[in-house]
Amino acid sequence: MKEPVFRGAATALITPMRTDGSVDYQAMGRLIDWQIEQGIDALLIAGTSGEGSTLSDEEHREVLRFAFQQAKGRIPMIAGTGSNDTAYACDLTKYACEVGYDACLVVTPYYNKTTQKGLIRMYQMIADASTKPLILYNVPSRTGISLAPATVAELSSYPHIDAIKEASGNISAIADIAASVTDGFTIYSGNDDQIIPILSLGGQGVISVLSNLLPKETSAMVHAYLSGDIQKARKMQLQYLPLIHALFCETNPIPVKTAMAKMGYGTNTLRLPLVPMEPEHENTLMQRMQEVGL
């Protein structure tokens, strides 16, 4: 029987950077400690919000190693190891397992895309290379390809494929996934504005951008729902909706990187082709942060 890697909220952590574009490990260490002190349930390192796709191989591995050592076994740690190069995804997944990560998040292959048959073979090959659970990552707005519910259902019974981060936004498709996967397969929301809807379909949590700013509150929202206080969870989902919209008014992680720089974690520096957000959007983001006490 497969078990959830975590229940609650996992932060899709940013990778703090200095003004010269190098990784700011000091800021990253402080950020990891703060997240854990605030009660976050898990951390995802070098995912989309962590700009994993623009880290060099050496940087990617060092970021994974550093973050795992900084966490010191205090919470579950998830490594972003996806790639449109399946062989590289296998190598990076093996490395994350050797470092000690509890799970790996593997995105669908961007740019080269593939058929559903190709997705099945790719994920099976990466799972065969892994000694830890894999979390499928479905985000067609970024990759140009979507995991069909029937594909997820087939993969859900494969060894080491234990969960999915669903960021398609298609609630009907997510319902089909929930109805067809094997027992013990976990669904996580990949969209902060759909946490409660996905929990209502049996989801166990969220892999979140919002929780970079509000780890305690995002975790509390999920656990309120899971403990049966649906009214409180729904109220929190709606309360944070304006901030969530501001965090996605430009491509993630542009806004969240701006927000975290304002909170003292690194500079507002991104890797091209990402650039800092437009001033009018930044002003709105600052207003929404102030409205929730940040």
The secondary structure element, H or E, covering residue 157 is none
- Indicate if 165 belongs to the active site: yes
| Distances 290 to 217, 220, 223, 262, 293 between C-alpha atoms, Å | 15, 20, 25, 12, 5
- Indicate if 132 belongs to the active site: no
Positive or negative torsion for Cα 209, 215, 218, 222? positive
| Residue among 95, 101, 123, 137 flagged as catalytic | 137
> What residue type is assigned to position 76 of the chain?
P
Q: Do residues 145 and 170 touch, judged by C-beta distance below 8 A?
A: no
Q: Tell me how far apart the 2 most distant CA atoms of the chain are, in Å.
A: 50
Alpha-carbon distance 89 to 97, whole Å? 12
CA nearest to 233, candidates 244, 247, 220: 220
Alpha-carbon distance 170 to 61, whole Å? 33
| Residue among 165, 188, 257, 265 flagged as catalytic | 165
Residues designated as active site: 137, 165
